Structure 1
Amino acid sequence: MFKIVKMFTDGSCLGNPGAGGYSTILRYKFHEKILTSGFYLTTNNRMELMAVISGLEFLNQSCIVEVTTDSLYVKKGIIDWMPIWKRQEWKNNKKKLIKNIDLWLRINNALKNHTVNWIWVKAHIGHKENERCDMIARQSARHPSIKDIYYENSKL
């Protein structure tokens, strides 16, 4: 029997690019776990992806996961674009590797272990967990501790 886990995510960037943070709230029955980190230089889209990746990678067994995100980039990327990217060997229509490929490959790998249902919510409309994730992600962005090496190297 699979565990049913609720996951709420958000990414934040103070400037885009700039210092960024993500937050993930995992909820199983009455247990809750918060995952968060801050990065010195990154983008908002990368933080939105990291929020989902951190949650999926944290789970140590296959689960049914209900992911709530305010990021259409993440939701559309996974549902609509990833199947095309895979057929095109992770390249866009211009035959260049897709942006944020390092994170898309991680999310692709993490998704193999779980059955995921995607729920999109509009940001900043009072959704309790989304607002909480936003606050935690912003706080992490204000106190970065990690270098986003892949992003920084891609800008050289």
Structure 2
Amino acid sequence: MKEVTIYTDGACSGNPGPGGWAAVLLYGDVTKEISGGEAVTTNNKMELTAAVEALKILKEPCRVNLHSDSAYLINCFKEKWYVGWEKNGWVNSKKEPVANKELWQELLRLYRTHDVHWVKVKGHAGVHWNERCDELARAAMPK
């Protein structure tokens, strides 16, 4: 399996408000940057979209180290929240519908295609590729 490193980030001006997402994919000597935005969205939706879009680019199953500063994203996988959500019909522990269900379902499909290792990084702490993702996500926010 190819080994790919991915950094992702989401940004939002207001919550909800205009938002952007970005990812940087690193494979050998190749660096690929992707980003996009939505006029009305949430920060969590942008964080998830960044991960989904990055994993969707991979053309074959890969070993992935996915770095994010989103506790929402990382904790879902590290603490296996999705297991309960799937078992309970996409209802969370508060008996409410899981927010961003479609994005989580797509992310789980991609997660199960690849061998993903989730890495939490501290945001705005000088981690080069995390900072680059933040720049790209902010630049992708609709004006």
TM-score grouping bracket, smaller chain normalisation: over 0.9
Answering whether residue 30 of structure 2 is matched by residue 20 of structure 1, we say: no
Offset of residue 103 of structure 1: 0.7
Unaligned runs of 5+ in 1: 144-156
The letter of the residue matching 2:53 is: S
C-alpha distance in 2 between matches for 1:4 and 1:94:
38
Tell me whether 1:9 sits opposite 2:8 in the alignment: yes
User: Are 2:43 and 1:51 aligned?
Assistant: no
- Using the size of structure 2 for normalisation, the TM-score is 0.95
Give the structure-1-normalised TM-score: 0.87
Equivalent residue runs for 1:1-156 within 5 Å: 2-80=1-79, 81-143=81-143
Amino acid of the structure 2 residue aligned with 1:118: W
The letter for the 2-side match of 1:73 is Y
Q: In 1, Cα distance between the equivalents of 2:22 and 2:59?
A: 19
Amino acid at match of 1:8: Y
Q: State the one-letter code of the partner of 2:111.
A: L
Checking the alignment, whether the CA contact within 8 Å between 2:39 and 2:142 is kept in structure 1 is: no
Question: How many residues are treated as equivalent by the alignment?
Answer: 142
Q: Which runs of 5+ in 2 are unaligned?
A: none
Secondary structure of the equivalent of 2:46?
helix
AA matched with 2:129: E
